[in-house]
Each structure stands twice: as C-alpha cells, then as structure tokens.
Structure 1
Amino acid sequence: MDTTLRDGEQTSGVSFAANEKLTIAQLLLDELKVDRIEIASARVSKGEFNAVKNITEWAKGHGHIDKIEVLTFVDKGTSIQWMKEAGAKVQNLLTKGSMNHLEHQLRKTPEQHFSEIADSVKEAKENGIETNVYLEDWSNGMRNSRAYVYQYLDFIATQPIKRIMLPDTLGILTPQESFEYIKEIKDKYPTLHLDFHCHNDYDLSVANAMEAIKGGADGLHLTLNGMGERAGNAPLASVVAVVNDFMPDYLVEVNEKALYKVSKMVEAFSGFKIPESKPIVGENVFTQTAGIHADGDNKKNLYFNDLLPKRFGRKRKYALGKTSGKANIQKNLQDLGLNLNDEELKLVTQRVIELGDKKELVTQNDLPYIISDVLNSNTISEKVKVESYVLTHAKGLKPSTTVAVSFEGELVEESASGDGQYDAFIKALRKIYHKKGLVLPTLTDYAVRIPPGSNSDALCETVITWDLNGKEYKTRGLDSDQTVSAIMATEKMLNII
C-alpha cells in the first residue's frame, strides 16, 4: 500500500492541492500498479474532502474504488459519515496499539476502547464500508505492554476486519525485532492479514521491511521518495528493488520502469527534493565519477550491479570533473558521436580536471566547447548567435521582447510577449526558427542556483534541460542577471543542436 498522499503528506511543509492528489493517485494505480493507496485523513479540511471526492469519483469509473483507503478515527460515526459523503469505501481505523498511548492519550481502559472500536466497525459495515485497523504505537506496545497487544488481537480477531496494520510509529525497531514481533503474532494468529508500516528514524526502514516479510507480513506500507513525518517512511523504490532482487519467494507487481517518472512528479508537486544520492530515483545514482569505473565498464561492465538504469527507465552517465579519467571522457564523446586521437584526448582530459579543481560544473554538452578551446579547432563553431534583444516588463502589461539572431551572418528578428521575460524570449525565438524552417527542442527542466552564502547581486547559474527527438541536452549560463544567464544557456543549446 502506498501512503504518500496521507502519511507522506505529513512531511513538514508539504501540502498537495486537490488536482495534484488526483494526478498522483492515477499514477500510483495506473502507472506504478501499486495494490492500494491511502489518500487522506477523514475530517481534516474541506479541501481534503474535495480531494478525496475527486479521487473516489475517478476510481469508481476505473474499477479502483476498493483500492482507495482513508484514515479514520474512533469518533462515534463522524468519520463514517465523512467517508460516505466523500464516496470512499475502505476505512483504516486508527486505534491504540500500546498501553502508553491508551492510558495517557485516551485515558480509557482496554475494555472501553475495544467496545468503541466494535461500534465503529459495526457502523462501517452497516454503511457498506470495509475496515482495516491501525494499532498505533504497536512497536512500543510489543516492547513494553505485550499483554495488552495480545488482549487487543484476541478482541480484533473476532471482528469483521480485513487487515491488521502494525505500525512502527516512532521508527524504533531493529531488523531483528521486526522479524521476531511479526513472526510471533503470525504464528499465534495465522489467519490474520498483517500489514507492516515502518518509519525511518534510525535509517532502518528498508531492512525492517525485509525482515517483516521474512517474519510473515502479508503487506507493506511505503511512500514515494521516503516522504513522511520526521525522517519519513520506508521508500517505495528501494523496497521494491530489494524484494525483487533478494527475496525471490515474494511477488511485487509494481512497475519498476515508472518509479523514476512518478517520483519526479511527486518531487515537483511536493517541493520535497529527492536527495541526489537517493537509491533508484536520485539524480546521481547511475552516474559513474571515477575514471577507473568508466574504464572497468568498458572492460566487460566490471562496475555494474543488478540495479541497471534501464530497468528503471533511466540511463547510465559518466560524470566529468577532477576525478575523471580518459575513460569517462571517451564514454561521453561516444554519446556525442565525437572521436579524438590519444594526444587530443589527453589534452581535453587535463582541461576537464583543471575545471573540476575550480569546482566548475562540467557537463557532456560542455565537451565540444572544451575541445574547441583546447585544440584551437572548429569542432563546434558559433554558427548561431543571439546578437541583440530588448526585454520589457511593465506593470499591467505582459512582458515582451524583441530578439535578433544571426545564422552564419544572416540576421533574423522577431518580437513576442509571454508570461515572463524568458518565456517571451523563447516565443520570439520559436518564431525565428519557424521562419527558418527549423525546430527548437522542448524545455524539460529549468533550474537556477546561487552559490551558498552569496548576496543578491552575486552570479547565478541557470541550468536548462532540453529534449530533441528523445535526446537530452543540458546547458548552462552564468551571469548576475537570471534572464541573461538563461539566454546564454539557450544560445549554447542552439549551437549544440
């Protein structure tokens, strides 16, 4: 079960809009093929209600309504009424899995709590709603009040419950405990369906998930990019890869090829940045940096493992910097269709290392320029030049620009307006290229970076990613003005293509 839209949204500073929740729900079920999704908590807000209603209406029309789950509360039927109005059919009822929570938060006896749970389950069934139950703080319950946990399980086994959901609410378990606690319960209650819900406070969530499966867990709760409160939840991509590669007796039907695409979509909607070194979905995890690794890959893929980028819809890259060797540069030159002799390659390698020592960002698409500079050749000449431009931005009027571009001496000029100065510039540029019968790439990513600690008038770097017929280009510009740096990056792209 993916709980990105419920538990994942408890990440500090994250709040999905209703249309974003619907899009993510569709991707999770139709693209990633997860089994179930937990999309919200009942009674939170009007916006949350509208988001759930949008998802349930879509799900009903696509045969997914039984896969849509909502966190509910023991609240004398208020949550049930909320669910009915929102069109949801599966409640995940939050109950207490430790005496500590029961005594100090609810201030009730086990018998009182169980009676109220039974009433909630009964009312849900009468209204056509299926019930799963969370035993909140279950991991602490097993450590410190095990008799209560078994008293609870004896009770809940008599109820019409589909799944018992066992959360490590505070992320305290070790892998050994995860295995032992789940196995102990599964041995005692073999017919109960047990879901394990793990948090990552000690960075053990993936290991705990593995051990829970070995102990007999029937399901896992995961989130995209490991989103969630505090240190987050067990990350979906990592757990899927681990189970597929190391646990052949178990089946995960998640579509691995869609993991990166959907993770990036969630990153964009949430603003929760994926660490560049995050396994499977991080930007750098399929990038070889050391020259010896690239050399080994040329010699029977010596530095490959089972986590091949193609498996996840990605591509292996070879970074360029001070640790680059000739093999790294050769790999990048092969992608560009360029060939150098040994002496030329040596000179270019030295130049890349020098730039790396200065902490310069060197990309594959910088290589033709470095080659041209180092070898004093015309490997890439500046055939296209943005000769001049005027950018205007006035209150009450759309930003506009006039651009003049020369193609090997021929000057072409066009004007356009847009949603911003750079948007206007791109629209004018498209007019120019249309006039010339040429095609511009699609802009797929636009990032601006200012050096840490710099002030407002420091240089900023604009890095733009382009796509032309399925081939990716990444170019950058550096200037104290963001729009100018973007135009510089664009001019670089025009010459590369």
Structure 2
Amino acid sequence: MPKPAARFIEIMDTTLRDGEQTNGVSFSPSEKLTIARLLLTELKVDRIEIASARVSEGELAAVKAITKWAKANDLLNRVEVLTFVDGDVSVDWMLKAGAKVMNLLTKGSLNHLTHQLKKKPEQHFAEVAAVIALAGKKGLECNIYLEDWSNGMRHSREYVFQYLDFLQHEPVKRVMLPDTLGVLIPSEAAAFITETVQRYPAIHFDFHAHNDYDLGTANVLEAVKAGVKGIHLTVNGMGERAGNAPLASAIAVLNDFVPSVRTSVAEKALYRASKLVETFSGLRIPGNKPVVGENVFTQTAGIHADGDKKNKLYFSDLMPERFGRQRVYALGKTSGKANIENNLLQLGIHLSEPDLKKVTKRIIELGDRKEAVTQADLPFIISDILDSKTIGEKVKIENYVLTHSRDLKPSVTLKIRVEGELYEESAQGDGQYDAFMNALKKVYRKRKQELPALTDYSVHIPPGGKSDALCETIITWKYNKKEFKTRGLDSDQTVSAIKATQKMLNL
C-alpha cells in the first residue's frame, strides 16, 4: 500500500505585525521590507502578516513598500494586514496601501463582545458581514480572527458555535483561532480544535498561539494533530507579553514528530532569519533558546564530548547542520580532554598526552575563576603554559591613536607589525572601533589578504556602575564558512575590542 500524501500545513509568519507588539520594538519601513523578502523568498513561509491598519503614517509607508515589491514578484496574495470592524475605514486604508488580503479582527468570546463592544451577537455579526461584503466588492480577500477564542471555548462555547454557524456561509477564506492570552494547556488545545474542526469540516482553520505559560509550541503541535490547516508563528517568538509560538521551534517539532504533515519552510534559513530579526529588533536571543540560541548546540560537559567522540552518544535528530549551524564544545571548568581535543582539532593543533593534561588543568582553573575561555584563546594558553615557539605572535599592534570629536567622524592612526613588516595607516569610521577596522583593512589590502567578516559583537560589563570596571568584548568572526570567537579584556571598551581583534589576526 502506498503511503498517504502528507497533509500540507500553511505557515503564516506574523513577526512584522504581532511580533512588533513586543515592548520596545519598532521596525523601520526598510527593515520591514528586508524581513518580508527574507521570510517569503528564503525562509519560504506561505503568508506574512505585516501590519495593523490605521496605526501610523510610517506603518502605511512600510506596507506600501512591501506590497509594491510583492506585486512585482507575484506574491501580493501572500501579504496580509490586520483590520477592524469599522465600516469602510480599514477597507479604504487597505486600498490606499495596495494590500489585497485583510485579517478582520472580531470577537471570539461573549466576554469580549459584552464588555468591550457592549453589543449583542446578532449586531456584531451584521457589522462583520457588512465589512466582508464591502471588502469583496473592493476586490479584497478576507480572513477572520476570533479574538479570545480560547476563553470563548472555555466559558461561552454556545456563542463561539453560533458565530461559526454564521461565518460558514460568509465569503471568507480562513477562520483564525487565537489563544489571545496564551492560557490554553495542550489537552485543551487538542480537545477544542478537534471539536471545532469536526463540527465545521469545510472551514479552513488557522491556530494562533501565545506563549504566556511557555506552552505555545506544545499547543501548536496539538492543534496540527487535531486538524488545523494553518498556524501562526513569529521569528524568535516575538510578540506581546511573553510572545507568540516561535517559528524555529514549531517547525523543528512538526518536522520531527508529525510525519503525516509537511510545511514549505526551509530549515536552513531559520537561523539566518533569527539573527536578522535580532539585529533589527535589538532584542537579544537568549543563549538557551531552542534551535537558534547561542548555546543549544554546545556541549559543555567533558563526558558528553567523550561520548560524541566514541559513538555520537549525545546526538539527537536535532542536528545543528539542519539549521546551517555546527556543534561546539565549550571550554571551562567542566571541560574534559575530549572537549579540548575537539577544539584543537578544529584549529589544526596536535599536542602530546602530557601537554594536553597541562592545558586541560589550566582551562579548569580559569573556569573555576569564572573566566570565559574561547577556542581562539587556546593558542595563547598553550603558548603560555608550554612556552611554545610554534604558536608565536606574528601580528602585533605596536601603537594607535583614537580620536573622537563633536560633529567630526572618529578617526584612528594605527601602527601594526605583521610578520616582521611595519605598517602605518589612518582611517575614519562611524565609531572608534569602526575607524580602527577601516585602518586595518587598508593594511591587509596592501598585503593582498582578506580579513574575516565580523558577524557578532557583544560587550559584557559587570553590574555595579564602577567606571573602572573591566569590560569584556567577545567578537564572532566568519572565515572560510567557519565561525570562531575572540575575547578581549580592558577597562576601555574600544581597547578590549582591539585586543580581541589582535587575537583574531594571530589566528
């Protein structure tokens, strides 16, 4: 017997609408366009919700830019906007913005209807029908949100089904079921959606999860198993309060645990999308965030590294290569020889057993003192312990002058010795470190050498407000498709970054 075809699940990403409701986050029109293009063309989500109607002139400009691009690329029917039951106001806004798909926000619980709108169900239904009819007349496609649907199912199920009895005869493409307050537990999500889908088999239902109890991904899993045809997600789980169900986690869970369904999302683009949204939003991804966090493919315990080396004992289906990432073996007080050997192997360094024991001992000592150790620190630790002449300092920054003046671009004059040859260059930049890097690039252009690309720059300053506190700068570089980190420590932030850069140059 041939296997039945996998059921297709639509993925609607709402990072640019619901995700932008994250406290303190606001994307510029150009950032919105960049994210929209990435989501539709690289990540390959099916639909994107990009804004709420009537919010601001900036929002209108952003929507116009996205719809113009989408129309030119035959993607306009995959771009959606949240609208309201407000007569012709939202519809006119949609036409002005060039959008074609509206997601109409309506009341999915009697509590919301009674206390927020102060209306009877029949009155609300009539107003909804009028907006749907107007949208159809103007050539717009309409989806319907049942706001607070989860509480509606808990406390006013008769109202929810009365509303769906009405909607099943309306010209709407999708009915979207939000857990607006993120209150569902997985068993409720499964029961409520199973009952709803079985009662209205002709309706296309989407599920929209929030993450207030950290159950967003679990509820998405249950919703899909219960028969929804689409799910709403956000990059990095951004959204109001605790956010929405995170895109990367939900896709990984569906791919690994629901073989009867498929999505169009390209797993390898998930990490890139996550980092781009992190940069534009200013909202840092926690190190332990599944799939996209800095530490989720990092083995810290020595016993894990030893098991991986012997028979991949600590591997699971959640392999980093699926997401364009690689496994890392951390260095610290719990490191064993296997961790250190894995890192040395990546650097092309081989040590004898006695020397390896000495290096392991030193790294454990540093970890006990809470000092961070990166792979790029290893050559310097080896050099210090073993007095090794094979790992020398081939690049030395001899001197530099950093200037910063009001209404003038920061500038740097740099003197650097590379393999015995002395160079001096000056440059300006958007900041002192940027000016330093511009001067450094001039030197390496003379040498016909390419510098690694800087992919991340993080600064750690101890709490307490002391002006002379040591500042740690950790810079992530990419070279020949591999990433590595270097670390600098100084009371001056720019100097600590320069020290981290000198370590990179010596690698």
Sort the TM-score into its range (normalised by shorter chain). Answer: over 0.9
Amino acid at match of 1:403: L
The answer for the alignment partner of 1:494 in structure 2 is 505
Contact 2:332-2:373 within 8 A present in 1 as well: yes
Q: Which deviates more, 185-194 or 428-437?
A: 428-437
Do the aligned partners of 2:60 and 2:97 also contact (CA within 8 Å) in 1? yes
Distance 2:292 2:481 in 1: 20
Secondary structure in structure 2 of the residue aligned to 1:401: strand
Deviation at 1:431, TM superposition (A): 2.0
Residue number among 224, 229, 240 corresponding to 1:213 in the alignment: 224
Letter in 2 for 1:104: H
How far does residue 453 in structure 1 lie from its aligned partner after superposition? Answer: 2.5
CA displacement 1:305-362 (0-9 Å, x = unmatched): 0000001100000000000000000110110111111111111000000000011110
The residue aligned with 1:325 is 336
| Separation in 2, partners of 1:384, 1:108 | 74
- Give the one of 426, 446, 451 matched to 1:415: 426
SS at structure 2 position matched to 1:283 = coil
The 10-residue stretch of structure 1 (371-380 or 249-258) with the greater mean CA deviation from structure 2: 371-380
For the Cα contact (< 8 Å) 1:8–1:223, is it kept in 2? yes
Residue 454 to residue 318, structure 1, CA distance change in 2 (3 Å): farther
- Partner in structure 2 of residue 392 of structure 1: 403
State the match for 1:54 in structure 2.
Answer: 65
Following superposition, the deviation at residue 161 of structure 1 comes to 0.8
Aligned to 1:369: 380
Q: Deviations over 1:105-163 (max 9, x none)?
A: 00000010000000000000000001110010111111111111111011111100110
Relative to structure 1, the CA distance from residue 35 to residue 407 in structure 2 (aligned partners, 3 Å threshold; closer, same or farther) is closer
Shift of 1:468: 2.5
SS in 2 for 1:299: helix
**1:73 CA displacement:** 0.3
Of the candidates 104, 112, 128, which is equivalent to residue 93 of structure 1? Answer: 104
* Counterpart position of 2:307: 296
Matches within 5 A, 1:472-483: 472-483=483-494
| Structure 2 contact 376–486 (Cα < 8 Å) conserved | yes
Counterpart Cα distance in 2 of 1:454 and 1:356: 25
C-alpha contact 1:10 1:228 (8 A) present in aligned 2: yes
- 2:298 corresponds to 1:284: no
Provide the rounded CA distance (Å) in 1 between the counterparts of 2:390 and 2:467.
37
AA aligned opposite 1:117: V
Q: Hey, what's the Cα distance between the residues in 2 that align with 1:237 and 1:60? A: 27
User: Take 1:421 and 1:431, find their aligned partners in 2: how far apart are those partners?
Assistant: 16
CA contact (8 A) 1:196 1:209 kept: yes
State how 1:248-327 maps to structure 2 within 5 Å. 248-327=259-338
Aligned with residue 6 of structure 1, among 1, 5, 17: 17
Whether the aligned pair in 1 keeps the contact of 2:91 and 2:135 (CA below 8 Å) is: yes
Tell me how far 1:446 sits from its aligned partner.
Answer: 1.8
Range moving further from structure 2, 209-218 or 257-266:
209-218
Is the counterpart of residue 184 in structure 1 residue 195 in structure 2?
yes
Is this contact kept in 2: 1:27–1:262, CA < 8 A?
A: yes
Deviations 1:58-96 (A, max 9, x none): 000111100011100000110000000101111100000
- Pairs within 5 Å for 1:58-457: 58-457=69-468
2:9 corresponds to: none
**SS of 1:233 mapped into structure 2:** coil
Structure 1 residues 328, 120: CA separation in 2 closer, same or farther (over 3 Å shift)?
A: same
Q: C-alpha displacement at 1:427, in angstroms? A: 1.8
Task: Provide structure 1 residue ranges, at least 5 long, that are not aligned to the other structure.
Answer: none
TM-superposed deviation, 1:8? 0.7
Cα distance in 1 for residues equivalent to 2:154 and 2:453: 56
Name the CA distance, whole Å, in 2 between partners of 1:35 and 1:412.
53
**Partner Cα distance (2:463, 2:295) in 1:** 21
Task: Call closer, same or farther: CA 1:292–1:427 in 2, change over 3 Å.
Answer: same
Q: Deviations over 1:208-235 (max 9, x none)?
A: 1111112111111111111111111111
Q: Match for residue 471 of structure 1?
A: 482
**Aligned partner of residue 413 in structure 2, secondary structure:** strand
- Equivalent residue, structure 2, for 1:34: 45
Structure with bigger RCO (C-alpha 8 Å, 6+ apart): 2
State the SS of the aligned residue for 1:151: helix
**Equivalent-residue separation in structure 2 for 1:438 and 1:267 (angstroms):** 31
Contact 2:249-2:290 at 8 Å conserved across structures: yes
Q: Following TM superposition, by how much is the alpha carbon of 1:270 offset from its aligned partner in structure 2, in angstroms?
A: 0.6
Distance 1:227 1:369 in 2: 40
- Using the TM superposition, name which of 127-136 and 460-469 deviates more: 460-469
Distance 1:52 1:199 in 2: 24
Cα deviation for residue 435 of structure 1 reads 2.6
Q: Extract structure 1 runs of 4+ deviating beyond 4 A.
A: none
| Equivalent in the alignment of 2:7 | none
**Stretch deviating more after TM superposition (295-304 or 387-396):** 387-396
Distance in 2, matches of 1:377 and 1:351, equals 15
Deviations 1:5-61 (CA, angstroms, capped at 9, x unpaired): 111111111111111111111011001111111110000000001101100000001
Paired with 1:218 and 1:399, the residues of 2 have a C-alpha distance of 55
Given residue 98 of structure 1, which amino acid in structure 2 is its aligned partner?
S
Residue 408 of structure 1 deviates from its aligned partner by 4.3
| Contact kept? 2:374, 2:487, Cα under 8 Å | no
Query: 5+ unaligned residues in a row in structure 2: which ranges?
Result: 1-11
Once the two structures are TM-superposed, the CA of residue 383 in structure 1 deviates from its matched residue by 1.8
Name the structure 1 match of 2:56.
45
Residue-by-residue CA offset, 1:400-431 (whole Å, 9 max, x unaligned): 22211123443222222222222222222222
Matched, 1:485 2:486: no
Contact map agreement 1:445 1:464 (CA 8 A) in 2: yes
Instruction: Name the aligned partner's letter for residue 170 of structure 2.
Output: Q
Contact 1:371 1:379 in 2 (8 A): no
Q: Distance in 1 between matches of 2:66 and 2:167?
A: 30
Using the alignment, how far apart are the partners of 2:323 and 2:448 within structure 1?
36
Counterpart of 1:492, as a letter, is: K
